Structure 1
Amino acid sequence: MADNTPRMPVATRLRNNFLAGLIICAPIAITIWLTWTFIHWSDSWVRPYIPARWNPESYLNFAIPGFGLLIAVVLITVVGFLGKNLIGQSIVRFGESVVQRMPLVRTIYRSVK
């Protein structure tokens, strides 16, 4: 029995395979790039505030990407823990009362909150 289906040219098959590979690889590559960019961005914000004695780069000959992000996550968690207890709530209320007295800052804070 003869197969009468027309064969696609090699260039068409190559193009289709390339596009399928691009559709598969693009989300993975974009996710890796965004994650790497976010880690470096957070490190650039947090790392200058880490004392040299706590910074592992002072002791090692290579950078540890994500260390600043790890410190930021720990700090945010501690702030959340403190904010949930009675002392933390009173500090947050005091801070918000100070912000409420500043006209432009008050508007921005309300919008963000």
Structure 2
Amino acid sequence: MIRLRQYFITGLLVWLPMGVTVWVLLWLVGILDGVFQGVLGAFETMVPPLQPLANQLRHIPGLGVILVAIVIVGTGLFVANMFGQWSLRQWDRLMTRIPVVRSIYSSVKQVSDTLFSGSGHAFSKALLVQYPRRGAWTIAFLTGKPGGEVAAHLGDDFLSIYVPTTPNPTSGFFLIVPRADVVELRMSVDEALKYIISMGVVAPPPTRDSSQPLALPPSTQPVPLPDSVQSPDH
């Protein structure tokens, strides 16, 4: 029975990553197909004579994923030129004038621009912080510096960080902490995510010279840590 259990666990370790990968891909395909089905439904409503064509398109597997991907890439190509950028500004101006839509649209646009901007610092560094209590350490990600009224109250000596939960890093906690309480890690963001999702089982290998100093992005340089918050390795 012990050997049978070992065989079962070994087989499970082989099939589990593949099964989760397939499940995630099917989930993404379902979302894209749902968008495609919604567009087809609106198209049928506006042009009733083309309903037979729309019904035929519904039964083509994977067509929704291909068309949605083509539309996204085509949109990127369109806004890459001056006319496309002008059109995008006009669209943003229109969306920000609609009473209910403007609050949702503006918030989502600000978050997406911050996360996906190549010049931004969101999720650019893996950090080590004490959370949820002093003496308990966890991995967090740098999201930037406080701004607006918060920065006016706290000053420049604070960082904005995101502390993800495990094994699902898409949920977590937003914290503003003194930069003196933060230890920057040499591991990449991808390695840190693997470490979090595996609940500490898959530890990233030391691939860099530990003698080299670490640095946060410009304008977020750390100050020396006090003895009370130094990690065991520092």
Considering the TM-score relative to the shorter chain, is it more than 0.5?
yes
Identity of aligned residues (%): 30
Residue 83 (structure 2) pairs with residue 93 (structure 1): no
> Could you tell me which residue of structure 2 aligns to residue 31 of structure 1?
21
Residue 3 (structure 2) pairs with residue 13 (structure 1): yes
Structure that is richer in helix per residue: 1
Indicate the SS of the match to 1:31. helix
TM-superposed CA distance for 1:80, in Å, is 1.1
Q: Deviations over 1:27-72 (max 9, x none)?
A: 101111221232233223214528665x7x839xxx4421111001
> Could you tell me which residue of structure 1 aligns to residue 74 of structure 2?
78
Q: Which residue identity is paired with 1:45?
A: V
Structure 2 residue ranges without an equivalent (≥5): 44-49, 110-234
> Could you tell me which residue of structure 2 aligns to residue 58 of structure 1?
56
Q: Which residue identity is paired with 2:78?
A: L
Indicate the SS of the match to 2:79. helix
How many residues align? The count is 98
Structure that is richer in strand per residue: 2
Q: Distance in 2 between matches of 1:70 and 1:23?
A: 32
Bigger radius of gyration, 1 or 2? 1
Q: With CA pairs under 8 Å and 6+ residues apart, which has the higher RCO, 1 or 2?
A: 1
Q: Which moved more, 1:96-105 or 1:75-84?
A: 96-105
Q: Distance in 2 between matches of 1:58 and 1:98?
A: 35
Runs (4 or more) in structure 1 with deviation over 4 Å come to: 50-53
TM-score by length of structure 2 reads 0.37
Residue of 42, 45, 62 corresponding to 2:35: 45
Q: Which residue identity is paired with 2:91?
A: G
